[in-house]
Chain A
Amino acid sequence: MAERKKIALMVSILALIAFFGCLGGDTTTEETNKIKIGLVAPLTGAASTTGGDMWKSAEMAVEEINANGGVNVNGEMMMIELIKGDTETNPEQGVKAVTKLITEDKVDLLIGGFSSAITYADQVIASENQVPFIITGASSPIITKRDDIDTSYFFHHCPTTDDYAHDTLLFVDEVIRPLINERFNYPADRKLRLGILYQDGKYGEGVLDGSKKVIEEKGLNIEIVSEEKFTQSETDYRTVLTAMKDVGVDVLYPAAFLNEQTPIVLQGRKDVGLNTIYLSVECNDDPDYYSGVEKWGEYSIQESRFGPYSVPAGPIESKVNKFRNDYESRYGASPSMMGASTYEGVYVAAQAIKDGGGLNKSEIKDALNSLEMEQMVEAMKEQTIKFSDDYRESKFQLYMQQLIWDEALGETRPVIVWPDNLKEQDFVLPDWYEPAT
C-alpha cells in the first residue's frame, strides 16, 4: 500500500511538472505574434531619472505604433511588446539585464543603453548573440568603433563625443573667436586659447580627443592651452580653475555632467573670477542646470539637440511640440533628450523590421544599415535618420544656445545662436568678458 502511494505521488509530481512546463517558459515570437523589443536603461540607481525618461518615451512610442495597428511585417500586422532591462546604473547589472533580455525574454532587438561605461560592458552579450542594438544613450564613439568584438549589429542613434566637440568648436572658431579678436583689437588670425576641463573617463576623454581631432582635421584657429582632468562627481574646482586662469584661456570647455558643470560655472565665475565663455555639453540642457547656475551662467553656451526650453524653428517644430505635449499630458513632466532619442529609436526599430520583412536578426541588421527615415523630434543632418556606412552612427543637427538672464523668471533661458538655419539671435560677447591675459 505504501509503495502504491509513493508511485502515485511520483506520477502526480511528474504530471504537474509536465503541466506547468507547457504553460509558461520561453515562447517564440511566432507563437505570440509580437515583436519583442528590450529596453536597456537604468531604471534604478543613480541615473534612474534618465532611465525612467527612456522607458516612458519608449512606452509612448510603442503604444502609438500599436494604436495604429502595429508593424507591417511581410503583410502581417504585429504588435510590439516592450520589455524592461534594468541596468541599475552599473556595468555588472547591465550585463545581467542584457543577458536576461536575450536568453530568457528572447527579444528581437535592443534599444537604449545609457552610459558609455555600462553599454561598453553589456554590448558584449549582444554582440555574442548577434542581436541588433539601437544605442540611444551612450556618447562614446568607441561603442561602434571598438575592435575587440563584432560591432556590426550596433547602431548609434546618439551624438558622440566627437560630434559634440566638432560642432561646438566649429561654432567657437566661426563666431566667438572673431568677436574676441575684434573687441580687443587682436590680429584677425590670432588663435583662440581654449581650456578643456574634462571628467576622468570615456565621456570626458572622448570630448578631449574629439576636440583635438576637429581642430586638426578642420584646421581651426584654436589652440588647447590647458587640459585639466577631474574625478567624476568632484565638488571643488576652484584650484584647478585658478590654474587654468593663470595659464590664460579665452573659452573654457568643461566635459562634465550636470552635477559637475553647475559648480564649475558657479565657482569659476564667483570664486575664481574666471570671467570667460563657458561651453557645455548637451547632457546639461536640463531645467536643473538653468536653476543651478543662476545669473552666473548668463551668456554661457549650451550645445544641444533637444532641450526643455527651446524648440528649433522649421520642419520639426510641430513634431517636437506634439511629442512634448503628449508626454507632458501622459506623465506630467517634460521629456528629456535621452527620452527623445529613445522614442525615435523605437520608430527606427519598427521601420527596420518593416523594411526587413521579418524578425530575422540579420535581416533587421541589414535593414538598419540601409534605413533612411524622415527626422522626427530631433533635427538630423539632411533631415534624415540614417546610419553612416563606416561606424553606423546617425548624424544629428546640433545647435548652440546662449543662456540669457530672464529677470521675470529669475533664471536664464536658452536662445539658439548657431547654426544660421536655426539661429534665433546673434551670439553676445558680454561686457564682463575677460580674454586670456
Chain B
Amino acid sequence: MDFGILPEILFWGLYAGSIYILLAIGLNLIFGVMKVVNFAHGELLMLSIYITFLLHSVLGLNPYLIVPITMVLMFFIGVLIERVCFRPIMGTGKLNEIFMSLALIYLIQNGVALVWGNDYNTIHSPLGNSKLVIAFDNSLIVDVIDIQSTSLKQYNASWMMSLSLDHVVIISVTVFLLLMFYLFMWKTKTGKAMRATSQNREAAMLAGINVERMDMISFGLGASFAAAASLWWITGLQFNPYVGSIPAIKAFAVIIFGGLGSIQGAIAGGLIYGIAENASSYVFGGAWKDATSFIILVLMLVLRPTGLFGEGED
C-alpha cells in the first residue's frame, strides 16, 4: 500500500461525504420538524439534476451558477409538496405518510421520464479539466492547471497532490452551506422556531409558533439541500430518471447512523461514511465499499440504536 496516496483517499472521502451530508441534512430537517420520513428524497435530488440540466441547456450558463437557482426553485417545489401531499394526511397515521412518499417516487420518476425519456444525459462542468496542484519541494507550490494541456511532470517535487477543481469547489460549497445553515438555525428567529418545533411540537404551538409554517419551510429547505447535492452530477456523471434511488438509500443509512433528526449526526455520519467507504475500497477492494456502509450501520444499531447523536440531542 502506498501511504503517500492517503491524503488523496481522504480528500475523496471528504468529497463523497459532502454529498452524503447535503442529502442527509435535507432528510433530517424534514424528519426533525415534521416527523415524516421522506422516501422520495432521492427523487427530489433527481428532479434537481434535471432542472439544472434544463436551465443549462436553455440558458447556456455555467452549471455552478445554475445550482443556486435550482435550490430556490426546489425550495418552492418542496413547499408545494408539503402543502398538497403531506399536510392533508399529517396525523392520519404513519402508513399514510409512507405511502404518500412512495407514491411521490413513482410520480416524480415517471413524470421526468415522460418529459425527458429514459436516456442518459450529462452536464459537463466548465472546471472539468482544471486541477489544483499542491506540491512541496523546499517551498510550497499551489497552482491551478489545465490537465489537458499541462503535464504534472513539470512539478519535480518531493511531494505532490493534484485535486480536481470541481471537487474543491463542491467541498467548499458544502462547508459554506453548512455555515449558512448553522447561522440560520441558531441565529435567526425562524431557525430557532424550527428547532423548537422539532424538539416539542405541542410546546412550540403553545408558545405561539406557527408549526405548519415550520413544516413548509423545513420541507422546502430539505428539497433545497437535495438540490445542493445535485452538484455531484455536474461533474460529468450520467443521469437518468432512476438515478436518485441509490443516493437516497445511502442517505437513509447516514441519518440512521448519525441519529434520526440530528443535524450534527448527519454531518458526522456523512463524513464517516464517505471516508470509511473510500478507505475500505482502497484497502480491501471495491466490493467492500457498500459492505462497509452497512457494517458500520449494523454496528451502530447494535451498540447505540439511537445513532451517534440520537433524537432530541439538537
Contacts and interface: CB of A to CB of B under 8 A. Distances in A.
B143 interface: no
Contacts of A291: 122
Nearest to A241: B286
A258 B121 CA distance: 11
A132 B129 CA distance: 52
A304 to B, nearest CB: 18
Nearest to A237: B286
A199 to B, nearest CB: 10
Interface in A36-74: 45-49
Contacts of A46: 118, 240, 242
A295 interface: yes
Contacts of A233: 243, 246
Interface string A161-174: 00000000000000
A387 interface: no
Interface string A212-253: 000000000000000011110111111110110010000000
B118 A270 contact: no
B118 A48 contact: yes
A273 B153 CA distance: 11
Q: Which of B232, B238, B240, B285 has the most CB of A within 10 A?
A: B238
Given A233-B246, A242-B5, A258 B12 contact: no
Nearest to A259: B238
Contacts of A231: 289-290
Contacts of B243: 233
Contacts of B279: 239
Contact of B285 (A243, A262, A263): A243
Nearest to B283: A243
Contacts of B128: 270, 294
Contacts of B246: 233
A292 B285 contact: no
A266 interface: yes
A138 B8 CA distance: 39
A242 B8 contact: yes
A242 B119 CA distance: 30
A138 B278 CA distance: 32
A25 B203 CA distance: 65
Interface string B87-100: 00000000000000
A235 B287 contact: no
B63 to A, nearest CB: 15
Interface string B1-17: 11001001100100010
A200 interface: yes
B18 to A, nearest CB: 12
A13 to B, nearest CB: 39
A258 B117 contact: no
A262 B118 contact: no
A233 B124 CA distance: 19
A426 interface: no
Interface in B260-314: 278-279, 281-282, 285-287, 289-290
A231 B242 CA distance: 15
A239 B278 contact: yes
Nearest to B288: A229
A35 to B, nearest CB: 31
Contacts of A242: 5, 8-9, 282
Contacts of A47: 118
Contacts of B242: 46
Given A243-B282, A266-B236, A258 B120 contact: yes
A90 to B, nearest CB: 12
B199 interface: no
B141 interface: no
Q: Report whether over half of chain A's contact residues are helix, strand or loop; otherwise say mixed.
A: helix
Contacts of B232: 235
B152 interface: yes
A292 B162 CA distance: 23
Nearest to B239: A259
A271 B147 CA distance: 10
Contacts of B282: 239-240, 242-243
Contacts of B285: 228-229, 240, 243
A102 interface: no
A301 interface: no
Interface in B1-58: 1-2, 5, 8-9, 12, 16
A76 interface: no
A200 B287 contact: yes
B237 A263 contact: yes
Contacts of A236: 12, 16, 278
A233 B240 CA distance: 11
Q: Which of B1, B128, B236 has the most CB of A within 10 A?
A: B236
Contacts of B2: 246
Interface string A283-295: 0000010011011
A246 B2 CA distance: 7
A263 B289 contact: no
Given A49-B117, A288-B120, A271 B164 contact: yes
Interface string B54-88: 00000000000000000000000000000000000
A231 B285 CA distance: 12
B12 A262 contact: no
A49 B238 CA distance: 15
A289 to B, nearest CB: 9
Nearest to A238: B12
A364 interface: no
Contacts of A237: 286
B156 interface: no
Nearest to A197: B286
A197 B120 CA distance: 21
Contact of B12 (A49, A235, A239): A239
Shortest 6 CB-CB distances between A and B: which pairs? A240-B286, A229-B287, A239-B281, A228-B286, A259-B238, A239-B278
Interface of B: 1-2, 5, 8-9, 12, 16, 113, 117-122, 124, 128-129, 147-148, 152, 162, 164, 167, 232, 236-240, 242-243, 246, 278-279, 281-282, 285-287, 289-290
24 contacts: A49-B118, A49-B119, A228-B286, A229-B286, A231-B289, A234-B286, A235-B237, A236-B12, A237-B286, A238-B278, A239-B278, A239-B289, A240-B281, A242-B282, A258-B120, A259-B237, A259-B239, A259-B240, A262-B238, A263-B236, A270-B128, A288-B120, A288-B121, A294-B128
Given A233-B243, A292-B120, 16 more contacts: A46-B118, A46-B240, A197-B286, A228-B287, A230-B287, A234-B289, A238-B12, A239-B278, A242-B9, A259-B120, A259-B238, A262-B238, A263-B237, A288-B119, A288-B122, A295-B148
